[in-house]
Structures are given as C-alpha cells and as structure tokens.
Amino acid sequence: MINLGVLISGRGSNLQAIIDACEKGEIPAKVAVVISDNPEAYGLTRAKKHKIATRLFEKNKFEDKNTYELEIVKTLEEHKVDLVCLAGYMRIVGPALLSSYQGKMMNIHPALLPSFPGLNVQKAALNYGVKVSGATVHFVDDDCDTGPIIAQAAVPVLENDTEETLSARILEQEHKIYPQAIKLFAQGRLKIEGRRVKIK
C-alpha cells in the first residue's frame, strides 16, 4: 500500500476518481493528503467528505515559489507520500518540489501529448481541427507537459463538438487512465528508460 499526495487547484473530479479507486480496493494506495493552492477548490470539499487530510498553500502568501514549494514538500513528507499526483494543479512545478519527487510525480493532461501542451487545450484542439484528441498521464519533468508518458487514451472529435462536449468526453477517459497509471506505479511495474516508460 502506497501513500498518495494529490495536488489540486479546482473541481477535483480526477481526485474523486482516485479516491474512489483507492476506496474500492482497485489500487493498492491511499490518499494521505490533498493539497490545494486555491481556497475555493471544490476538491478540498471532496477530500473532507472522505476524511482525508487537506492543506491549503496560497502561493502569494509566500516570499517566493521556492519557499512555497518547500512547505508543500514538508507536508508531503509529514504524510509519508510515495507518489505525488497532480490532478488539475494549474502551476508549473519548480525545482524545490520536483527534486524531492523526481520519478515519483505524475500529471494528467487533457490532450494527446506532445500535441497541445499548456492551458485551454481542448479549445486549441478544436480550433486546430484535429479528428482525434484524448488524455495523457505522464511523469513530471522540469518543463511543461513534457515528461515520459505512462498512459494515453484517445477520443474522437465530432463535427458538432463544443469545448464543453469534447472536454467531457476526454474527462471520462482521464478518470479511467489516471487510476490505472497509479495502480501500475503502486505495483512497482513502471520503469522509466529515457523518454519511454516500460510497463513490467
């Protein structure tokens, strides 16, 4: 059984999918702490409903990003976190946080990376006119949405899609592949070899 630390900024539907998978015993893991940078994040309410420890760290209340991230590291260590899951955490991770959890930090992204990194990517995919988009779970490295890919799921982009309908179709897949990726990590089955993640 491994301990997860989940970082969020908002709604927390991926957090919910992870909590549910843990509680159903589908993955040998437990959410030890949920950390938010946003006091309004609904994910905090979700965590509290499941009696999971929550912490709020508002970046603008810290001297700089380094100090902010060191507080997060301290909290993750206090909760003996083995794997950090970014789940709608809308910040680029800096060296203070990354250096403590290199190879032990995952992110979920609502596009088929390396296409459409960054923000508002469902809209970007629609505007570009791609016929297929999807979701990606990847290890976090020192750039934005560039780390080694663990899992991906594709969805069709339909003629009459809006940003909302495409986002919903992608989100459904996110909720499946994120718990699956965490399960593989918890089972010790992921091995990073350069850019490739081998599944044992």
Catalytic residues: 109
Size, binding site for ligand GAR by CB under 6 A: 13
Residue 188: CB atoms within 10 A of its CB come to 10
CB of 58 to ligand GAR, least distance (A): 17
8 A C-beta contact, residue 135 and residue 174: yes
Assigned token pair, 16: 């919910």
3-state DSSP call for residue 51?
coil
Tell whether residue 10 is a contact of ligand GAR (CB under 6 A): yes
> What is the Cα–Cα distance from 62 to 133, expressed in whole angstroms?
37
Question: Which range, of 20-28, 45-53, 94-102, 106-114, touches ligand GAR by CB under 6 A?
Answer: 106-114
Which residue has the CB atom at the shortest distance from ligand GAR? Answer: 88
Tell whether residue 134 is a contact of ligand GAR (CB under 6 A): no
Which candidate, 1, 66, 68, 141, places its Cα nearest to that of 55?
68
CB of 28 to ligand GAR, least distance (A): 22
Question: Which range, of 24-32, 63-71, 105-113, 147-155, touches ligand GAR by CB under 6 A?
Answer: 105-113
8 A C-beta contact, residue 43 and residue 15: yes
Binding site for ligand GAR (CB under 6 A): 8, 10-14, 87-88, 108-110, 171, 174
